[in-house]
């Protein structure tokens, strides 16, 4: 009973502001324990005698974990920025390096985090004092005295763990944290290293492979841009066997059908790599859709002549997050994106009618040349893909 009364009196005897100003940090830390009803049963330092060989070995071991963490964080930053990341087919030179990109940045980042955590745990186990404390639980908000004394208690804990005199550990931890922070920054800002506006009005965000001036100049204009299908043949095979079957004609599509097409120019036959590369460009795939005869169609202002009869060509890149809108439902004339279920109406300039997408799919102006092949009359009417601040629609 007397013990409970003593504890109650101790909690009620709270020092004034002036009294706390006269207290040392150790006294404030002790007061914090008393005010919180904390009884320190045991507090034994791991190394009672400073400067022993065992202590120095422990310090070097902890610093080693932090240094390794910093090393892997540095490798991550270098690999994230400089490692070849552009797609290579298994048959192409450089495929092995491309295939290792994701494992390398994943492994180095993961090891950096793991080793940083191991270093922190090792420091706690090797240098934190063996302390056993018992505290009574109290509800309610802490007052000014509690806040002041807790800060002093934390400062004393720092002294007890001897972190203040562990220069090697502090420097290695600072290095690891700094390089790790640099890695996190590179991960967040890596996409901004390349200037998306390089080229002005011809920047990659504004134009695609369908732009006429991507090809060779012919007289006062540019060569034709055909609508090409992917037959599965490599560029070398196409050049060797000819282009039969890769250019699309109106009669190749049945009513209520869709085919994915890509840009093709005769000058592409000079370079097999160019023939293969166009199939990998993220902004060039186009859905060539043939509606059923007699379908009621609503044309968008400024795009009235983009179609050719019942044939319409829309970008295959969803305006929500850039997934491929690869499904066409002929009964309802809906274009479907399987990633987030956005739906676009082909009979109404591919405007969104369901899901998170808020903009219509860009439309490609098409016609048929004198030989009966589909050709593009120009680039898309707007930027392809998800929105960005500077786009005009």
Q: Could you give the CA distance from residue 280 to residue 270 in angstroms, rounded to a whole number?
A: 18
Tens-digit pLDDT profile for residues 87-109? 777 777 888 898 898 899 999 99
pLDDT at 25: 80
Q: Could you give the CA distance from residue 206 to residue 383 in angstroms, rounded to a whole number?
A: 5
pLDDT at 17: 80
Query: Cβ neighbours of residue 130 under 8 Å, at least 6 residues apart?
Result: 42, 43, 44, 46
Q: Could you give the CA distance from residue 389 to residue 187 in angstroms, rounded to a whole number?
A: 21
Of the candidate ranges 188-192, 212-216, 227-231, 292-296, the one whose mean pLDDT is the lowest? 188-192
Query: What's the token pair of residue 82?
Result: 């400089």
Tens-digit pLDDT profile for residues 352-364? 999 999 999 999 9
DSSP H helical ranges for the chain: 2-12, 17-21, 25-35, 53-82, 95-127, 144-160, 167-189, 235-241, 272-277
Q: Is the pLDDT of residue 368 over 90?
A: yes
Question: What percentage of the chain reaches a pLDDT higher than 70?
Answer: 89
| Structural domains for the chain | 29-192 (no CATH), 200-376 (2.102.10.10)
Q: What is the 3-state secondary structure (H, E, C) of 31-55?
A: HHHHHCCEEEEEEECCCCCCCCHHH
pLDDT at 337: 94
More confident residue, 194 or 3: 194
Q: Could you give the CA distance from residue 164 to residue 300 in angstroms, rounded to a whole number?
A: 70
Question: C-alpha dihedral over 163, 166, 169, 172, to 10 degrees?
Answer: 110
Query: With contact defined as beta carbons under 8 Å apart, do 285 and 260 qualify?
Result: yes
Place of tokens 């940083």: 116
Tens-digit pLDDT profile for residues 304-317? 999 999 999 999 99
Q: What is the DSSP letter of 138?
A: -
pLDDT at 140: 66
What average pLDDT does the chain have?
Answer: 85
Q: What is the DSSP letter of 252?
A: G
Q: Residue 282 phi/psi, 5° resolution?
A: -70, -20
CA angle 286–314–244, rounded 5-degree value = 35
End-to-end Cα separation, the chain, in angstroms: 78
Q: Is the pLDDT of residue 12 over 60?
A: no
């Amino acid at each position: 009973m007397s013990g409970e009364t003593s504890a109650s009196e101790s909690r009620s005897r709270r020092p004034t502001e002036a009294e706390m100003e006269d207290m040392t940090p150790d006294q404030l830390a002790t007061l914090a324990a008393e005010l919180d009803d904390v009884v320190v049963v045991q507090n034994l330092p791991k190394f009672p005698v400073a400067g022993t060989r065992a202590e120095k070995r422990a310090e070097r071991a902890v610093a080693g974990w932090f240094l390794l963490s910093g090393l892997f964080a540095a490798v991550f930053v270098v690999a994230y920025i400089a490692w070849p990341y552009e797609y290579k087919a298994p048959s192409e030179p450089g495929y092995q390096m491309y295939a290792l990109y994701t494992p390398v940045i994943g492994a180095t980042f993961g090891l950096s985090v793991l080793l940083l955590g191991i270093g922190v745990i090792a420091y706690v186990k090797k240098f934190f004092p063996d302390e056993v404390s018992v505290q009574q639980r109290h509800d309610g908000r802490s007052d000014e005295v509690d806040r002041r004394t807790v800060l002093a208690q934390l400062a004393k804990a720092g002294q007890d763990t001897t972190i203040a005199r562990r220069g090697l550990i502090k420097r290695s931890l600072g290095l690891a944290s700094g390089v790790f922070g640099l890695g996190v920054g590179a991960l967040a800002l890596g996409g901004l290293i390349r200037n998306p506006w390089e080229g002005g009005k011809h920047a990659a965000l504004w134009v695609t492979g369908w732009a006429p001036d991507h090809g060779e100049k012919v007289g006062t204009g540019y060569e034709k841009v055909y609508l090409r299908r992917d037959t599965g043949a490599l560029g070398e095979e196409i050049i060797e066997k000819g282009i039969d079957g890769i250019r699309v004609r109106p009669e190749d599509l049945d009513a209520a059908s869709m085919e994915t097409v890509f840009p093709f120019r005769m000058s592409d036959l000079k370079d097999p790599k160019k023939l293969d590369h166009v199939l990998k460009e993220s902004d060039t795939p186009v859905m060539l859709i043939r509606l059923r005869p007699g379908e009621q169609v609503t044309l968008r202002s400024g795009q009235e002549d983009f179609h050719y009869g019942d044939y319409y060509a829309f970008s295959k890149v969803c305006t929500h997050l850039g997934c491929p809108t690869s499904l066409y439902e002929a009964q309802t004339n809906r274009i479907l994106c399987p990633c987030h279920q956005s739906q676009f109406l082909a009979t109404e300039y591919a405007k969104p009618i369901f899901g998170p997408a808020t903009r219509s799919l860009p439309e490609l102006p098409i016609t048929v040349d004198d030989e009966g092949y589909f050709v593009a009359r120009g680039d898309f009417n707007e930027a392809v893909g998800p929105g960005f601040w500077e786009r005009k629609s």
